A and B are shown apart, each in its own frame.
Chain A
């Protein structure tokens, strides 16, 4: 079956612009997670959803970051007024239920100029 997919694979934007990153989880997975990975670092947790609701958004760095999962499947991570420090790889993962093995997508590489 298909794995987790993320679009776009690469995104270049200018400082101050708005971006949306999309994640399609594995079909039937109820839990969905967003992480951010900077160069040379391990991924850092941002937010996770159980169904349609954000169960834990404690990793979002500030109110410029927001994520939704309106129908309990596809999720969109939204970043307003992008800053150069937002440049990183944004990883999405899903699991059958919470606390089970997380399966990761290939990531979206965001570069803010």
Chain B
């Protein structure tokens, strides 16, 4: 059974720092991996999607990498801003089985202090 773990559970950094959020998964047979952002009381906003054949994806100050064989992904945020404060969720879609089921980690709650 696929399990997704995110470390750390919470992170507080001063504005301007570069930071890395970690995601690990137990079954490397994934179809894709997606990073989401969730603001308090809101739904999820998709940030980046990495297909299993890709190594990384970039969008603005965000860069996500994928090492499928070791079951790891990282989300790199450059020059963090207070507006980046949110919970970041990692989710994988397995290659086999259900084609619609995203399996989520519990998230990392990020706080960027001005």
Contacts and interface: CB of A to CB of B under 8 A. Distances in A.
B100 A101 contact: no
Interface string A82-109: 0000000001010000110111111100
Nearest to A31: B100
Given A42-B89, A42-B91, A104 B102 contact: no
Nearest to A97: B99
Contact of A45 (B4, B46, B103): B103
Interface residues of B, number: 24
A60 to B, nearest CB: 12
B93 interface: yes
Interface residues of A, number: 27
Contacts of B102: 33, 35, 43, 45, 102
Interface in B15-55: 31-32, 34, 36, 42-46, 49
Contacts of B43: 4, 91, 104-107
Interface string A43-81: 111001010000110110000000000000000000000
A42 B100 contact: no
B100 A48 contact: yes
14 contacts: A31-B100, A41-B106, A42-B104, A42-B107, A43-B91, A44-B104, A48-B98, A56-B101, A58-B101, A91-B44, A99-B93, A104-B44, A104-B46, A105-B43
